[in-house]
Structures are given as C-alpha cells and as structure tokens.
Chains A and B, each alone.
Chain A
C-alpha cells in the first residue's frame, strides 16, 4: 500500500498539486487519470521520489519515504519498479543487458541465475528470444514490454507505469494493459498507473483517481464510472462524440 497524504507541490508561483490524499491499494491497478497539465506526472514523480513535495507525506506501508536517509531510500527503491513513457531503455545495451542491469548492480547472483531470471521475465512479457537485440531494433510495443520486464526483474512490491500505452496501437495497448494487470494480481503488488487512455480506465481500473487542477476530483472503480454523476469525469472519459453516443445507447439499453 502506498499513501499520499496532503501532498502539495509548487513550481515557483504555480501550485501544481493542492493537497492530494490518495491510498494506492495492494494487489490492485491504481489509476491516476486527468487532462494534460492536471498534475499526474508530477504526482507520479513525487510518489517515486524523483521530486520532493512542497508539503505532505508519501507512505510506503508504515514508512514515510521523505523521512528516510539516502541508504534507506536506496534500499526501498529495490522494491520499486517503473515503466517509463518512452521505456527509457539504455540504447547501448542489448535487451538482455537492459533487463540484467538491476541484477548486475544490486544482486550477487551468478551469471546463470541472472540469465534464468532475465529469460523468465522475457517469457513473462511474451518476448522470449530477443535477448541480443538492441532497443532500436525492436518495435515500440516490444520496448514497452522490455521496460516491464526490467521493472519486474527484482520482484518489486510496487510498480509504477507512466502512460504505458502512449504511442501504441489499440491492440498492443490492450496487451500491455493485460500484462500489467496480470503481473499485479499474480504478484500481489501495488501498481500505480498514470494514464489518459480510456480503454485502460475501463479495462483495468480497479481504483481510479481523477485529477483536476491539482486536486482529486473523483475516486472510484471502472464499474462506477458509467453511473457516476460527476460531470467532469463523464466529459473526460467520454470526450469524443462517438463515445458519448455509445454511452447514451448503453445507458438506454440498460
């Protein structure tokens, strides 16, 4: 479980987050959604400690992240995996070396053990056999999957995904969503996903947090989205006329 407690963040005179209180639950896909500029990325960066809040706390279970010393923070980060929007794979390393990087850096496993773990992670993301390819030699969807493999290689308890579907076709996006969801359930980890992909919201949104102007405007799950009377949420989720028509006809039928 991760808990954001009254998180505020300002850049110069601009207040980006105005007191966020969210509990990200274990074993669930926790989504942060909102329009561009709502503060999603800033919140995600605060949760993983890439940014420091102006005030407020981030709790990992009973541990206040920003009260930890450097060494403790580093130790906690071994339990954190993150998938970046652009995958953030190291260009000069092969797929295998990319996934092995955290193992090389932080574990004392033998070469064979590391290779086994890398191959297991690659199989888990349905990419067995691409060990020797470089990131530039594989597609965007495959890069995302390698990013997921790298994020889970140390068996993290917390998984963060920053817009995992951006730039992907709907089919591949669905594949990535399913992958993240199944890993979350299988390993019973706390997954936080920053997205504005509405398919993701409706498919894997176990716990959805809608941000509006730096505040939480709505919280719920995917089955509560349709019934919600929150106008901002409805406008955001069903932004296109096509989706609006689809929603209306669905509501009429039901």
Chain B
C-alpha cells in the first residue's frame, strides 16, 4: 500500500516536472489556456451559481432556526452567512463540485487522447505532451477558479438574503447590517488561498489519472472516477491543513 502510494506520488511529481518545462510555442499554449479558461470558467458558471444560492439559503435558514428564542441579535444571521461562506463553504463546496465536473472531464479528455494515440502522435511530433496538455489547464484553473469561488461567495450571500428576508425571518436592514458587521479582510485572503490550492489539486490529479490510463473504456471510466475521488479527498485534507496553517 505504502509502496503503491510512493510509486504514484513519484510518477505524479515527475509528470509535473515535465509539465513545467518551457513551452515550444508560446502562442499555442496561450490559445489552449484561453480555451481552458472558457471551458472551466464559463462552462461552470451555472452549476456554481446554482449551488451557491442554495448554500447561502440553507445556511441562513438553519441559523435563523438555531437563533430562534436566543438572545443573539438576529442580524447575526447575515454575519454568519457571510463568514461561513467566505471562509469555508464557497471555496470548499465549489471546488468539490468542480472536482466532479471539471476533474472528471479532464481525466476523460486526456485519457481518451492517450487511448486514441493522440498523445503518442504529439510525442512523435516532438511536443512535450505533459506540458501542452496539463499546464494550460492548471494555469486556467488557477486564474478562473478563484473568480468562480468569489462569485459563489457573493451569490451565496444573496441566496441567504432571498431565503431569509422574504420569509420574514429577518428584515432587510438586519440582514444588510449583519453582512456589513465585523468584516475581516484576512478571511478573503484565506478564501483565495484555498481556491488556488484546490484549483491546482482538481486539475493536476485528474490530469495524472488521465495521462497514465491504460486499457479500454472500463479503465477510462475508473480513471475518471478515481480522479474525482482522490481530488475530493485531497481538497478536504488540504482544507484542513490550510485552516490549521492560516489560523494559528
């Protein structure tokens, strides 16, 4: 088990070492990065927005219920929705969902290229396939996913408003007061750190799974599933580690 882990970790590192090589032609990598930004960013807007609305809504409703009959001021609902969203829910839940959507897509795309000999064809042309296929995805994700997470946080706060204010749990003024109270800019920094680390994980782990896939469609399916499972586990592990490091 340990040897198996070391084998995969070593192969992952050597793949990443190849991936950070100098591009053969900068314009080709630029084009590919733009395409990936579109796929990852624009392609994920709807799902991220939808999930963010419900995250905010559920958080607001739950806290409103818990704060019932307590002495805690009701405007705290807005404050709690804002902070829990920024610190934890927006980066983590968004990236867990993106690991499913984007991660499985990356594993299937690269794995499919491996099986159809596209990667071999590029290798023979002299293309550094690890760099050309992986780096644009990583760079695109590192730029786009923090923006998606930022958007998710915003939409989530709006979602909290939609769920609590019209239902009469809290007034408009109280919610706005809550959202504007005790703001700590450092939490936004934490959110971005998480988003960048998670973006790296959810692109490189599926890339690894796809790049080294062997066999046929069953193996490709397994690689895609493993890409999502390992990405999710690593995202949660690093969520904990980042929380530990940045809050000490």
Contacts and interface: CB of A to CB of B under 8 A. Distances in A.
B25 A104 contact: yes
Interface stretch (B85-93, B115-123, B190-198, B223-231): B115-123
Contact of B124 (A50, A75, A91, A101): A50
Contact of B121 (A75, A78, A82): A82
Contact of B125 (A50, A77, A91, A160): A77
B124 A105 contact: no
B124 A77 contact: yes
A105 B117 contact: no
Interface in B101-131: 116-118, 120-121, 123-128
A71 B25 CA distance: 14
Nearest to B115: A86
Given A105-B24, A105-B25, A106-B25, A50 B120 contact: yes
B121 A77 contact: no
B67 interface: no
Nearest to B27: A104
A86 B124 contact: no
A113 B65 CA distance: 69
A106 B117 CA distance: 20
B118 A106 contact: no
Contacts of A160: 124
Given A105-B24, A105-B28, A50 B123 contact: yes
A104 B121 contact: no
A90 B118 contact: yes
Contacts of B126: 73-75, 77-78, 105-106
A122 interface: no
Interface string B157-186: 000000000000000000000000000000
Nearest to B25: A105
Contacts of B124: 48-50, 77, 80-82, 160
Interface string A38-52: 000000000011100
Contacts of B123: 49-50, 77
Contacts of A90: 118
A74 B126 CA distance: 5
A81 B125 CA distance: 7
A102 interface: yes
Interface string A71-100: 001110110111011101011000000000
Contact of A86 (B27, B116, B127, B128): B116
A34 to B, nearest CB: 20
Contacts of B118: 88, 90
Contacts of A74: 24, 126, 128
Given A86-B116, A88-B116, A105 B125 contact: yes
Interface in A56-84: 73-75, 77-78, 80-82, 84
A70 B219 CA distance: 30
Nearest to A98: B121
Contact of A106 (B24, B27, B120, B121): B24
Contacts of A75: 126
Contacts of A49: 123-124
A84 B121 contact: yes
B11 to A, nearest CB: 16
A145 to B, nearest CB: 16
A194 to B, nearest CB: 13
Contacts of B27: 104
Nearest to B112: A91
Given A77-B126, A78-B125, 7 more contacts: A49-B123, A50-B124, A74-B128, A77-B124, A88-B120, A101-B125, A106-B24
25 contacts: A49-B123, A49-B124, A50-B123, A74-B128, A77-B124, A82-B121, A82-B124, A84-B117, A86-B117, A88-B117, A88-B118, A88-B120, A88-B121, A91-B116, A102-B125, A104-B25, A104-B28, A105-B25, A105-B125, A105-B126, A106-B25, A106-B125, A106-B126, A154-B125, A160-B124
- Across the A-B interface, give the 5 residue pairs with the lowest CB-CB distance, nearest first: A77-B126, A88-B121, A74-B126, A88-B117, A82-B124
Interface of A: 48-50, 73-75, 77-78, 80-82, 84-86, 88, 90-91, 101-102, 104-106, 154, 160
